[in-house]
Structure 1
Amino acid sequence: MTLTDPASQALEAQEELGEQTAQPGSAVVLQTPTRPGAALDIAALNRAGIPLLDVTVPVYNEEADLEVCVRNLDAYLSTQFLHTYRITIADNASTDSTLRVAERLARELEGVHVVHLEEKGRGNALRRVWLASDSPVLAYMDVDLSTDLNALAPLVAPLISGHSDLSIGTRLSRSSRVVRGPKREFVSRSYNFLLHSLMGARFSDAQCGFKAIRADVARQLLPHTLDKAWFFDTELLVLAERCGLRCAEVPVDWTDDPHSKVDIVRTALEDLRAMYRMTTDMARGRVPLAQLQAAMARGPLPAGERAEEASRGQSLFGQLVRFGAIGVASTLAYAALYLLGRAFMGAQAANFVALLITAIANTAANRRFTFGVLGAERLARHHFEGLIVFGIGWALTAGALVWMNSLPHPGQWLELSVLTVANLAATALKFLLFRLWVFRRRA
C-alpha cells in the first residue's frame, strides 16, 4: 500500500474499514467504537474475537533484530499479559530481507500480522496501522526493545479502565532506571526542555518509543497529525494535551541500544523545525483545536474555555520563557520602528507609534503562545485590555523621555538606551498584568 498526504491517509483508511469484514488472520478488520472515558467491555471483545491490544512494531531494514524482538514480545504477551493481543509488524519500505522475515514470523506465530508500506517513516506506519486496527487499545514500541517489557501492562492498564486516554513510558522519572550515554541524555533532556518552555507541554518524555492510546481517541486525533517520521509522537501528545485529554506516565527501565540507527542530532534539528511548523499551524487555526475539544469534551466546560483551562496548567517558568522570547522580539522591533520614526517625527510621536504597533503584535503573540488562548472567544476584550496595558507601558516610556529631555544634549543613542530600559521595565509589568488580569481564567 502506498501512503500519500497524512490527512488523506486517515480518510482512506477509514473508508477501507467500511468496506471490509472481519476475516480470521486479517490485520485490518472492522473497528468497534468505544465511548470515551468508559472502561472496556473485555467479555464482549472476547466474544467478538477482537484483540484488546494491538502492539505495532515499526521497522526499516531490521532483518538482524526483528525475529528476536518479535519472538520475545510474543512470549511475554502470551505468558504475562492477561488479555488478547495482536502484534503488527509495520514494514516501512525496507530494502533488505526484513519483509520476508516478518512474513515468516506471521506464518509461525498466530498473533503476528504484517503490514507493508511503500514509504518510510514511523509516523506514516503508526497512522496507517492504528486507523485500520479493530483493537480498542493501540500501542507501539521500538524494535530494539530498549524498554523493559514489564512496563507494558502498567502502560495499557489506565486505558483499559478508562482512567486515561493515552499513556507514555518516561525515562525522565526519578523512579526510572536508564542506561544511556551522556550525548543521548543531553539531547533528550534539551528537547523536552524546549517542548516545555516553547510549546507549554507538560508530559515529561516525548520521544520514548513506548506509548499507547485508546482507539476512539486515536481516530479523532490522527487525521490532524502531519509528521511522517519521529516528531509524530510529539505532535500527537501536544494535540491530546491541548484537547484536555488525560495522559498517564509510566516510569520505565530503559537501556540504550548502542547499534541504534537513529541520527539523534539530525532528528533533533528536524524536530525543532516541526515544532515551529506545529506552533504556526495552531496559531493560524490550521489545526481545528476547538472542534477537537468539543468532540472529546468530558464535562460541561465550553470548548473555548477548555483551551484556556489547559493553558492554566502551564508552568510559570514556561510562560516566562515564551513571554521573554516574545518580549525580546518586541523590543528589537520597537527599537527599529522608533529609529525609523525619528527620521521624520518627534521623539514622543515616534515612541507612541512604535509602542502601539509592537503592543498589538505582542498581545496577539502572547495570547496564543504564552497563555495558550486560541480562537475568537473574548478576542476583542483581550486586545482592549492589552491596549490598556500598552497605555501603562507608554506612560512609563513617556515619563522616561520627559526626564531625559531635561538633560543637556542627551544624544540619540542615550535617548534610545533610556527608552529601551524603560520598555523592558514596562515589559515586566506587562507580564504580571497579562497573567493576573488580561488572560486570567474567568469564573
Structure 2
Amino acid sequence: METTAVRTRLVEVVVPVYNEQRALRASITRLQTYLSGTFPYGFRITIADNASTDDTWRIATELAEELPHVRAVHLDEKGRGRALRRVWSISEADVVSYMDVDLSTDLDAFLPLVAPLLSGHSDLAIGTRLARSSRVERGPKREFISRSYNLLLRSVMGAGFSDAQCGFKAVRTEIAQALLPGVEDEQWFFDTELLLLAERHGLRIHEVPVDWVDDPDSRVDILRTALDDLRGLARVARKTLSGAARIPMPARVEQAELPKGMARQLPRFAIVGVFSTLAYLVLFSMLRQAISPQAANAIALLVTAVANTAANRRFTFGVKGPDGAVRHQLEGLIAFLVGLTLTSGSLALLPDGVSHGAELVAVIIANACATFVRFMLLRVWVFNPKRRTSRRSSRTPPSSPSRTWTSRR
C-alpha cells in the first residue's frame, strides 16, 4: 500500500525534445507507465519542446491531455540547457531531473538517482556510464570521445565526477535554482557547467552506475558539440580564476575554498601555459615537416618545458635569482617526462596515415592532461615554499664558538 507521507514528495522529470515526433509518444507513454507502477514518490513529467518544426508540439499537447502527471511546455528557441532552465527555475517540486527522450538509460536507475536527494544525503545526482558496474552499448567513436572529454575535465578542471554528458541527472530544486544564475550555456554544455559550478561550491554529487544503450538515430552534431564544449571549458576556467563564478548558496552548504596561494598562482600558471602550448604547437608543426611525429613531439616538448619551468619559477611562484635554478630545471624535467609519456602514447594510438590535424588534436588533449600534473608537481614539490625555507635554514652559518661556549656557561 502506498503511504501518503512518501507520495507527498514531488519529483519533476523534464524531457527536452526537438523534432522528436517519431519517438515522443512511445517514450512518454512508457515513462509514465513505469513511474505510475513502480515509483514510490509523486512525480510530474514535463515535455519541454525546443521550437520543433515537425509535429512534436502537437503530440506533446495530446499526451498532456491524455496522460495523468504529464504536461507540455513550448519554447520559441532551441537549446537543451534553455529548456531545463525554463522548467527548473519555476518548479515547485522537491527534486528536478531530466532524461533524454530516447530513454537510452535503463529506468530502473531512476529511483537510486533521486533517493539520495530526497533524503538530504546529496545535492545533485548523475548517471554514469563509465563505472565498472555500468553496462553500455555504443560505438567505439562515441566511447572514445566521451572518455576523452571526461578525462579532460578531470585533468584540467580537477572535476571529481566521472560522466558529465550522460542524459540522466537530478538536482534538489533549491540547489538547482541557486546554481542556475551562474550557468551561462543554453545548449549541450549546460550539464558540464552546472556540475563544475556545483563542485566549485562544495556541493555533494552522487553518482549512479547505469545501463545505457546508444540511440542509432541520435542527431547530435558531435564535432560542433565538442568545439562548443571546449569553448565552454575555457570560459568556465576564466570565470573560476577571476572569482566571478562565486554565487550565493543556501546557508547550510559549505563553500569550498582554494588552498592558500593557489588563487594567485592558477591564473599566472594558465597564462604561462597558453604561451607554452602555442609555442609547442608551432615547433611541433615546423619539425613535423622534416622528422617523425614522435621525434618532433619530444623536441618541441623539451624546449617548451625548459622555458615553461623558467617562466613559472619567476612569474607564478615568485622565485628570484639564480639560486636553485639548475635544480629546478632538473626537477621540472619530471613533469616533462609525464607530458612526453602522455603525448607519445596518444600519437602511438593513432592509426597510420592520419592527417596532421588529427595529430595536433591528439597532442593537445594529451598536453591538457599533463598540464594538471605539471602544476601540482611545481606547486607541491619543485617550488614548495616550505622546501625552500628548509634549504635556506640548512645553509645558515652556525654561531661563533665563543658565543656558543658562553651560552653553555
Q: In the aligned structure 2, how far is the partner of 1:79 from the partner of 1:439?
A: 61
Q: In the aligned structure 2, how far is the partner of 1:150 from the partner of 1:310?
A: 44
Aligned to 1:308: 258
1:145 to 69, 90, 103: 103
Q: Is the 8 A contact 1:55 1:138 kept in 2?
A: yes
Q: Greater shift after overlay, 178-187 or 421-430? A: 421-430
Shift in alpha-carbon separation, 1:127–1:361, aligned structure 2, 3 A: farther
Shift in alpha-carbon separation, 1:44–1:170, aligned structure 2, 3 A: closer
Letter of the structure 1 residue corresponding to residue 320 of structure 2: G
2:172 to 183, 204, 214: 214
Aligned to 1:435: 380
Aligned to 1:284: 242
Letter of the structure 1 residue corresponding to residue 258 of structure 2: E
Q: In the aligned structure 1, how far is the partner of 2:102 from the partner of 2:260?
A: 35
- 2:5 aligned with 1:60, yes or no? no
Aligned to 2:320: 391
> Counterparts of 1:108-123 in structure 2 under 5 Å?
108-123=66-81
Aligned to 1:168: 126
> Counterparts of 1:50-89 in structure 2 under 5 Å?
52-89=10-47
Unaligned runs of 5+ in 2: 263-267, 280-306, 337-373, 388-409
2:145 to 187, 203, 213: 187
Q: How far 1:433 moved relative to its partner?
A: 6.0
Shift in alpha-carbon separation, 1:190–1:259, aligned structure 2, 3 A: same
Shift in alpha-carbon separation, 1:234–1:395, aligned structure 2, 3 A: same
Q: Is the 8 A contact 1:56 1:89 kept in 2?
A: yes
Q: Is the 8 A contact 1:243 1:292 kept in 2?
A: no
> Residues 103-145 of structure 1: CA distance to partner in whole angstroms, max 9, x if unpaired?
0000001110111000000000000100111101001000000
Q: Is the 8 A contact 1:330 1:362 kept in 2?
A: no
1:203 to 149, 152, 161: 161
> Residues 12-61 of structure 1: CA distance to partner in whole angstroms, max 9, x if unpaired?
xxxxxxxxxxxxxxxxxxxxxxxxxxxxx983973xxxx61000000000
Q: Is the 8 A contact 2:7 2:41 kept in 1?
A: no
Shift in alpha-carbon separation, 1:438–1:116, aligned structure 2, 3 A: farther
Letter of the structure 2 residue corresponding to residue 116 of structure 1: H
Aligned to 2:404: none
Aligned to 1:158: 116
Q: Is the 8 A contact 2:272 2:311 kept in 1?
A: no
Q: Tell me the secondary structure at the aligned position of residue 175 of structure 2.
A: helix
Q: How far 1:298 moved relative to its partner?
A: 3.7
Q: Is the 8 A contact 1:93 1:117 kept in 2?
A: yes
> Residues 269-294 of structure 1: CA distance to partner in whole angstroms, max 9, x if unpaired?
1111111111112222332x2x446x
Q: In the aligned structure 2, how far is the partner of 1:75 from the partner of 1:153?
A: 15
Aligned to 2:366: none
Q: How far 1:308 moved relative to its partner?
A: 2.4
Query: Scaled by the length of structure 1, what TM-score is found?
Result: 0.64
Q: In the aligned structure 2, how far is the partner of 1:430 from the partner of 1:122?
A: 35
Cα-Cα RMSD: 3.7
Q: In the aligned structure 2, how far is the partner of 1:63 from the partner of 1:267?
A: 23
1:93 to 51, 56, 70: 51
Q: Percent identity?
A: 53
Shift in alpha-carbon separation, 1:185–1:330, aligned structure 2, 3 A: closer
Q: Is the 8 A contact 2:95 2:171 kept in 1?
A: yes
Shift in alpha-carbon separation, 1:431–1:161, aligned structure 2, 3 A: closer
Q: How far 1:426 moved relative to its partner?
A: 10
> Residues 68-87 of structure 1: CA distance to partner in whole angstroms, max 9, x if unpaired?
11000000000010111000
Unaligned runs of 5+ in 1: 1-40, 313-321, 334-353, 364-385, 401-419
Q: In the aligned structure 2, how far is the partner of 1:76 from the partner of 1:421?
A: 62
Q: Count residues with an aligned counterpart.
A: 316
Aligned to 2:302: none
Q: Is the 8 A contact 1:330 1:358 kept in 2?
A: no
Aligned to 1:43: 5
Shift in alpha-carbon separation, 1:362–1:161, aligned structure 2, 3 A: farther
Q: In the aligned structure 2, how far is the partner of 1:75 from the partner of 1:216?
A: 28
Q: How far 1:263 moved relative to its partner?
A: 1.5
Q: In the aligned structure 2, how far is the partner of 1:111 from the partner of 1:130?
A: 16
Shift in alpha-carbon separation, 1:298–1:258, aligned structure 2, 3 A: same
- 2:92 aligned with 1:134, yes or no? yes
Query: Scaled by the length of structure 2, what TM-score is found?
Result: 0.69
Q: Is the 8 A contact 2:48 2:83 kept in 1?
A: yes
Q: In the aligned structure 1, how far is the partner of 2:40 from the partner of 2:261?
A: 38
Shift in alpha-carbon separation, 1:163–1:310, aligned structure 2, 3 A: farther
> Counterparts of 1:204-283 in structure 2 under 5 Å?
204-283=162-241
> Residues 239-258 of structure 1: CA distance to partner in whole angstroms, max 9, x if unpaired?
00111110000000000000
Q: In the aligned structure 2, how far is the partner of 1:280 from the partner of 1:259?
A: 36
Shift in alpha-carbon separation, 1:162–1:361, aligned structure 2, 3 A: farther
